[in-house]
Homo-oligomer: A and B are copies of this chain.
Amino acid sequence: MSIIDTSLTMTHAWFGVLAGVLALGYALITMMSVLKESMGTPKMKEISEAIQEGAMAYLNKQYKALIPFTGIIFVVLFFVAGAPMSISFLVGAVCSGIAGYIGMNSTTKSNARTTEAARSNGLGKALKISFRAGAVMGLSVAGLGLLGVSSLFLIFQDADVINSFAFGASVIAFFARVGGGIFTKAADVGADLVGKVEAGIPEDDPRNPATIADNVGDNVGDTAGMGADLFESYGATTIAAMILGNSLFGLSGALFPLLVGTIGIIASIIGTFCVRTSENGNPQTALNIGLWTTNILTAVCVFFLSGYIFEAPLSYGITIAIVIGLIVNILIGGITEYYTSGGKRPVNNIIRASETGPATNAIQGLAVGLESAFVPMLVFAAAIFGAYTAAGMAGAEYAIFGIAMAAMGMLSTAGIVVAMDSFGPVADNAGGIAEMADLPPEVREITDKLDSVGNTTAAIAKGFAIGSAALTALALFQAFVDSAAKNANLQASGALDYVDGAYKLIINLNDPLVLIGLFIGGAVPFLVAAFTMKAVGDAAGGMVEEVRRQFREIPGIMEGTGKPDYARCVSIATGAAISKMIPPGIVAVACPLIVGFGLGVKAMAGFLCGLTVTGVLLALFLSNAGGAWDNAKKWIEANGGKKTADGQPNPAHQAAVIGDTIGDPCKDTAGPAMNPLIKVAGTIALIIVPFLMF
């Protein structure tokens, strides 16, 4: 009995190309419609342009700094692995870069337009513009991902060769995450410590020299960093699924992930149409409708697609696995929201602890972060089990396809999830511009409403990024195990077992090499987190000194007559980010190479598992602790807790501000760095596995 329709041909890969082009075309039209809107007063325009200039300057420097790094890898790949792999690597890196440029361009060009819409038209239009800007980013990420993978597959016709596309994407993503994370938090912490705490001026006050850098940071961290992260997950998952699909089912199996991606993109575009709200409507509801539309459409279409390609019960199993991915997305988002939202138990604990000072605030924040890592791991465990079991219904050999399908399911909706996430920084910037341009408070009220929704969607997107990284890493791991079994050196060296007439990589935890790999892999995320936390601490210190210097040396700065040197702060943050992203980058790339070539394929497998477990745990811990601290502070502020009854600064609020600052590098630098870290290791493992000797 055939379990798969083998009539699919290479032509079907064109669906992926077309869907990619469709997504990019939709992004282009959307962008043009946004650009038609007014940017408001000259002052608003000026601020927006300063932010855009800073963001683009940063992005240029970041990519320029990466040219030698990617160049070396390209050359090494060319000579060691051949032209197709090196070209795939370059296409992955360049596509990631293009996605970053498009996204950054769209969000930085929409911030003042959103402010202006809030000023002249109100909430509905402000949501429309800011969400459209996000959609440009979201669909560029998904579109470029699918277009890149599909085109390379059409050209080289070999899933195993194009896996370096994911490696290219992951290298760029790592640096975008780490560099962007250092930039944004150096600027934020520096601006807050001197501006808010020492000088007592509010957030986004134009007198603060670091305020433009702070707003630039929102874009380079939250937009470009997150976009690159999800672009990488998208590419890596698709390719891992293609490799496994090809290995199990031949060409049709390799094409299936591309067709799922096609469905996801179309569903995402339809979903974006559903995001609209009236003047008194709830923007969160509008976004939720868009997301649910996409999820349901994807699930339904996938059901028919797998019914068309696979025989029952395999078709059901694959559909279930994909739906599991969609459910993981919703659950992780909900858990993240629970642990990081004001009004819920965890954040309430932090708020209460603020009464006894910054130390107890920090202790409770750490406790919340640590606790928040537990339940998502159970969700992942359940998803692994469910996806495995579902895909294995038709035969044990298909089980490993399940996790890759769950990851595909989750990532197929990346278009709309990135759109929802990128909308946050636009709303945040729009509020900053309203403040800096001295617009009436009603404008700020509207942008604040959008911004607070943006914080929720950012939490959901963070959960999405972590969850998808976890599933992607597992899919890459499965592809790694699958590829290892085909390596003739490993067959000869005895690293593989010969079971039932075939070679198999058995990774026995009782094997000391596997255990060693597990220990080393488990430790690497701690080192990378340490490097990135320290980088923010150091860079923020430099920013503090620069802002203090400007306050001291520029006459009339506090009275608003002297103009702060914004560009100098942007350039300090840029310099720090670029120089400090290199050491963790070297760790991320060198560790898997050393373990793989030095300790062999079994240690490498243990390494990948250890890295994934602690990487995901640290990502959850750090991101959620930071989010909870942030929202504890916001809740106190929103409930009039800035001052005590007699008008003095409230010590509980000051404690919460300290907690929020501690959380800044946790949630926006070290935490997010974990996602690309585990994927870099996975993609490297997949690339080097054919060259391992033992």
Contacts and interface: CB of A to CB of B under 8 A. Distances in A.
A251 to B, nearest CB: 25
Contacts of A680: none
Interface stretch (A30-38, A222-230, A488-496, A503-511): A503-511
Given A359-B189, A509-B606, A366 B666 contact: yes
A400 to B, nearest CB: 7
A610 B540 CA distance: 35
Nearest to A618: B370
Contacts of A613: 518-519, 522, 610, 613-614
A334 B377 CA distance: 34
Which among A388, A514, A530 has the greatest number of chain B C-beta atoms within 10 A?
A530
B508 A370 contact: no
A367 interface: yes
Copies in the complex: 2
A534 interface: yes
A321 to B, nearest CB: 12
A523 interface: yes
Contacts of A367: 529-531, 533-534, 537
Contacts of A381: 515-516, 519-520
A360 B193 contact: yes
A512 interface: yes
Contacts of A369: 530
B193 A530 contact: no
A610 B373 CA distance: 14
Nearest to A610: B613
A357 to B, nearest CB: 6
Interface string A569-592: 000000000000000000000000
A658 B474 contact: no
A577 B658 CA distance: 28
B373 A526 contact: yes
B658 A359 contact: yes
Interface string A82-97: 0000000000000000
A662 B609 CA distance: 31
A520 B189 contact: no
A678 to B, nearest CB: 13
A594 B373 CA distance: 19
Given A400-B510, A509-B606, A512-B399, A363 B537 contact: yes
A512 B384 contact: yes
Greatest chain B CB density within 10 A among A513, A531, A617 is at A617
**Interface residues on chain A, size class:** 35 or more
Nearest to A499: B497
B374 A662 contact: no
Interface string A524-554: 1011011101101100110010000000000
B540 A356 contact: yes
A614 B661 CA distance: 26
Contacts of A399: 512
B370 A609 contact: no
Contacts of A512: 384-385, 388-389, 399
A283 to B, nearest CB: 31
Contacts of A645: none
A353 interface: yes
A389 B513 CA distance: 11
A203 interface: no
Given A360-B193, A534-B349, A609-B518, A617 B509 contact: no
Given A377-B522, A523-B377, A534-B364, A662 B385 contact: no
A622 to B, nearest CB: 9
For A193, A381, A513, which residue has the most chain B Cβ atoms within 10 angstroms? A381
A26 to B, nearest CB: 38
Nearest to A194: B356
Contacts of A474: 515
A481 interface: yes
A353 B541 contact: yes
Given A364-B537, A380-B519, A399-B512, 17 more contacts: A189-B359, A193-B359, A356-B541, A356-B544, A358-B358, A363-B536, A366-B662, A371-B530, A373-B523, A374-B523, A374-B526, A378-B523, A384-B512, A384-B516, A385-B513, A385-B516, A509-B605
Closest 6 CB pairs of A and B: A371-B530, A377-B523, A359-B661, A370-B530, A367-B533, A507-B509
Interface of A: 189, 193, 197, 349, 352-353, 356-360, 362-364, 366-371, 373-374, 377-378, 380-381, 384-385, 388-389, 399-400, 474, 477-478, 481, 505-510, 512-516, 518-520, 522-524, 526-527, 529-531, 533-534, 536-537, 540-541, 544, 605-606, 609-610, 613-614, 617, 621, 658, 661-662, 665-666, 670
